[in-house]
Structure 1
Amino acid sequence: MQNNILIIICDQLSAQALQSYGNHYNSGGAMNQLAAEGTLFEQAYCNAPLCQPSRASFWTSRYTFETQVDTNLRQLSFPHIADTISTLGEVFQAGGYQTMHFGKEHDYGSLRGFTLVENKERVIPREDPAINLAYETFLDIDTTTKVTDWLASPQAKDQPFLAVADLQNPHNICNYIGENQNGSKPFLDDSQLPPLPDNFDTPDMANRPEYIQYLCCAHRRLMHAAHWSRLDYRRYLYAYHDYINRVEKQVAQILDTLAAARLEENTLVVFLADHGEGMAAHGLVTKYGNFYEESLRVPLIFRGPGIPVGRRISGPVSLLDLKPTLQSYAGLAATAEDRGHNLLPVLLDESVDQAGQPYVVASWIDEFSGYTVPGRMYRFGQYKYTAYRDFIHRDSDEVSIHEELYDLAKDPGEQCTLILDEAYSAVLEQARNGLAAYCTSTGDPFYSSLPDYDRSLYRLHKPGFSNHEGPCAVDVHILNRPKNYAARNF
């Protein structure tokens, strides 16, 4: 008898937000219970810090340049990924599984093979006037109900299933930021605000890529937070944890239903997030265009039949590994074109405590359109290297590589880029060669890609988010969007 697989996804959940990953502010409830009862990967990365590119990648185990889903809205069209690219749903459907998907899609066709269950908003009133409740929270109520109803139904026992509970929160933080762009309001209980992170300030910002120094010109929510006080940032963190607490209770409902339906003993549960959240590190909010740990490192936890209990595995892995790992677990044939690694041998071998992958790569192009700055992260060993293809400066047409380098063993908060440190010149060379070798072996066109944005509109103020003036590229895009395009996508 084949085991079932239940994938639970949260949107915009940083690993660093959970107690099981070292956060002492949020208890994390059911999410941390999963970690205690299963195996946790300590350094799991998404392959793009944005919803649709990340999701298209992990459902297919292909890089963004291969899926061609490299933004949330490429040229205002929604082309489906090529039929020649294998999806997780298709493989499991062909393997005799029920394939059910509940909740957020945002997939560009990468959910082919799943039965997609529509969800609807279930509006509830605010409990705290200062905590914004938006479509994400309302949709999660419906998604949770439909997942639990299905798990409790006879259909869940008809044949082995691959089911996905795809929850929106804590993505509601985006709407909170927009509502509070002119300054935050006190909560009903303003006495328990979380502290700012140790890496809130960035003293070496002048050494970061110009794109990062002016990220507020591209990033709408960062523009909204540009003139916040430290108190505003602490309230933002409080709200973020409120949304986590909401979705944690829904994860608990789903797991309780799984147990009550007597499906727990033969169901592998996989918990992950599509990408992270800035969490005030470096003064950043939400995700977008940067490769810092808070935006890119996500929870990845396995619990169920055959999975060791209370185990932690170090070493970088990526969400590209999801598809080949689950196919192996289910005894389904590997897909030759998959870019990810099969993590099952590491999961099952308790003598191994490190994943041992040579590198992980993540990509960035643009959120929508109008502010393209191609970027790549190359994560290897204890180091992280990032590279952006940008104009040398705003008055030049010459394009160059703008870089960052971090030693995460010594500087986990990425507070000091080592690009100018002669002591790390050999590591920098290794990183540059590694990224170039990856591009050559996979066909990634990074080194021929070009930046594209209106330099007469952006980066006109002094460097640094707090100095922001003028428009943001997303606002310009919104003004030019089709009238029938849903505003919530922004």
Structure 2
Amino acid sequence: MKPANLIFICADQMRYDALSITGNRIARTINIDHIAARGATFHRHFTPNQICSPSRATMATGLYPRHHGLWRNGVALDERLPNIWKALSQAGYATKGVGKLHFQPLLAPAERAMPESLAYWERPGREGWRGPYFGFDSVDLVMGEANESTRAGHYAAWLRRNHPEVVDLYEPEAGGGSRAEDLREVWKSAVPAELHYTNWIADRAVDFIERQSKRREPLGMFVSFPDPHHPFAPPRPYCDLFRPERMPKPTIRAGELERMPAYLREGDDPTKEPYVASGEQPREQGFLLRTDAISDETLSTAIAHTHGMIQMIDDAVGRLLEALAGAGILESTYVLFTADHGELLGDHGLLRKGPPPYRQLLQVPLVLCGPGIHPGTNIDALTSHLDLFATLASLLGLPTPATDGIDLKPLLEGRISDVRDFLFTEYHPRRDACLYNQSVISREWRFTRYPNQPAWGELFDLRRDPWEHWNLFPEKAFSEQARALNAVLDRRLPPQPLIANEVLGAY
């Protein structure tokens, strides 16, 4: 009997409550919801790091960033480490990665010859390279979001070769004056939807499903969409599907940031491009900014465009499900959908992501269907990206090396209802050592400490304040609770602000 297949779908910068299945009243994510209806929805799933590359490396390896070494963007993952894709390949699976992988820095120097760096693609003929790469037999890379996607990678090479007239349509100036002046990363993309990277990724994934389903080997594929990461620039019709004036307002409590660590009273410049060029003075990861200087209209448009990008991804997911069904392998395939991390999207008066470990950044969607998973299962246990390697290997009958995660198969089978009392997260900064922070999360509390700045701290009562709008750390009445959770961190995740892995770039 042929082993089960795996389709692992990842979005970039999508928060837990972005889907209709997780309670979003604006979203119409019928295809992602269909995965949930066929299987399980995880309602307390978190990443241990709110930044792209560290989180993606954790999804692949099952290790904390301090253990896999990719502790911040701009650092490369060690190719020698075990990961889920290597495990599949070694078990005889045909493996493929399509889209944004982000295991290596975009700004790594040319002498490193790293395929996910811009410098690698400056030499002619690079588009002929397809792998192998981190356990993938072959890859089709998209590098960057919106207009950045045309600079390097397989998609950029394909676009320039087959549709050179479309390259300039990615630029904001092609959007017919739709670019917002108070948030320069908001515009309507002029790129035809069928040539946009979201559909290009779906095209290649569908092609792989159709070809591989006729062969003896089972398939294992990572399908990774760069959106809904900023810039907020979907193409038509998706940029017009949701009306800005009908978007829910971000949730902000008056005075909440005054109770938070002082760095949150600063922020990035919304009129500045959210990228760091080689040699530019580094800005903090995530380009966190305050929304004070952004108009309600512009912020509502950014939210509407985010929903548009999510809708485009959902349509692409629908194409993958149709391809699996058409090939007769949907029933024998595990399909997983998640995101690397979330997006603040105006909550707390903040946008994008950054050092603060807010729930909007750490909690992400996770739905999973496949053989043996009971339809309509809802899981309320505390789960983590740390668990994905062990769980998928267990479901597929593969050997698993030691990881920092937990095999969730007994949870999916209903044999247990919980797996841990605490989740742990850790943020390593790019620029300011004071921003290094560690968090412990339980069902009742989230406590965060800044080991290099002991006067700072965050404590939230998740029963009364589930979306973390009122920091209790400054109040003496809660000091005992903070001390108790700090002791848990001391025992389980002692401070480790310095990680021995070379920084190769900002991204």
Q: Give the TM-score, by structure 1 length.
A: 0.79
- Show the 5 A alignment for 1:34-49: 34-49=35-50
Equivalent residue, structure 2, for 1:203? 255
- Show the 5 A alignment for 1:2-401: 2-74=3-75, 79-81=76-78, 83=80, 85-108=81-104, 112-118=134-140, 119-121=154-156, 122=159, 123=166, 129=176, 130=178, 131-133=187-189, 138-154=196-212, 157-171=215-229, 173-174=230-231, 176=233, 190=243, 192-197=245-250, 199-216=251-268, 218=284, 221-223=287-289, 225-336=291-402, 338-349=403-414, 352=416, 354-366=417-429, 368-369=430-431, 373-390=435-452, 399-400=453-454
**Which amino acid letter does the alignment assign opposite residue 102 of structure 2?**
H
CA distance in 2, matches of 1:308, 1:284: 39
CA distance in 1, matches of 2:323, 2:434: 45
State the Cα distance separating 1:89 from its structure 2 match.
Answer: 1.3
CA distance in 1, matches of 2:284, 2:61: 28
Residues 339-392 of structure 1 deviation map (CA, whole Å, 9 limit, x = unaligned): 01100100111x64x4331211122112x54676211121123211112244xx
CA gap of 1:378–1:73, structure 2 versus 1, over 3 A, is same
State the Cα distance separating 1:266 from its structure 2 match.
Answer: 0.4
Residues 202-250 of structure 1 deviation map (CA, whole Å, 9 limit, x = unaligned): 5232221123333448467544855112232222111111111111111
User: Aligned to 2:496, which of 423, 445, 464?
Assistant: 445
Further displaced range: 423-432 or 142-151: 423-432
State the Cα distance separating 1:174 from its structure 2 match.
Answer: 2.7
Aligned-pair Cα RMSD in Å? 3.0
CA distance in 2, matches of 1:189, 1:379: 34
CA distance in 2, matches of 1:141, 1:344: 32
CA distance in 2, matches of 1:318, 1:345: 15
Q: Spell out structure 1 runs of 4+ moving beyond 6 A.
A: 134-137, 186-189
Further displaced range: 141-150 or 419-428: 419-428
CA distance in 2, matches of 1:402, 1:6: 42
State the Cα distance separating 1:190 from its structure 2 match.
Answer: 4.5
Q: Tell me, yes or no, if the aligned pair for 2:286 and 2:352 is still in contact at 8 Å.
A: no
Instruction: Compare relative contact order (CA 8 Å, sep 6+) and give the higher one, 1 or 2.
Output: 2
Residues 2-39 of structure 1 deviation map (CA, whole Å, 9 limit, x = unaligned): 21111111111111111111111112121122112210
Residues 142-196 of structure 1 deviation map (CA, whole Å, 9 limit, x = unaligned): 211110011111456421222111111112x33559xxxxxxxx97975653021
**Which amino acid letter does the alignment assign opposite residue 115 of structure 1?**
D
Q: Tell me, yes or no, if the aligned pair for 1:134 and 1:175 is still in contact at 8 Å.
A: no
CA gap of 1:211–1:156, structure 2 versus 1, over 3 A, is farther
**Which amino acid letter does the alignment assign opposite residue 57 of structure 1?**
T
Q: Tell me, yes or no, if the aligned pair for 1:209 and 1:388 is still in contact at 8 Å.
A: no
CA distance in 2, matches of 1:439, 1:167: 32
* Unmatched tracts of structure 2, length 5 or more: 105-113, 117-132, 141-153, 160-165, 179-186, 269-282
* Unmatched tracts of structure 1, length 5 or more: 178-185, 391-398, 450-480
Indicate the SS of the match to 1:56.
Answer: helix
CA distance in 2, matches of 1:434, 1:256: 47
**Which amino acid letter does the alignment assign opposite residue 49 of structure 1?**
Q
CA gap of 1:259–1:192, structure 2 versus 1, over 3 A, is farther
Q: Tell me, yes or no, if the aligned pair for 1:43 and 1:316 is still in contact at 8 Å.
A: yes
Equivalent residue, structure 2, for 1:396? none
Indicate the SS of the match to 1:301.
Answer: strand
Residues 105-132 of structure 1 deviation map (CA, whole Å, 9 limit, x = unaligned): 1013996111232241454858975344
Residues 54-85 of structure 1 deviation map (CA, whole Å, 9 limit, x = unaligned): 111111111111222111114xxxx44262x3
CA gap of 1:134–1:276, structure 2 versus 1, over 3 A, is farther
State the Cα distance separating 1:401 from its structure 2 match.
Answer: 5.0
CA distance in 2, matches of 1:148, 1:43: 31
CA distance in 1, matches of 2:92, 2:396: 11
What percent identity do the matched residue pairs reach?
24
Q: Tell me, yes or no, if the aligned pair for 1:203 and 1:415 is still in contact at 8 Å.
A: no
CA gap of 1:188–1:268, structure 2 versus 1, over 3 A, is closer
Indicate the SS of the match to 2:441.
Answer: strand
Indicate the SS of the match to 1:385.
Answer: strand
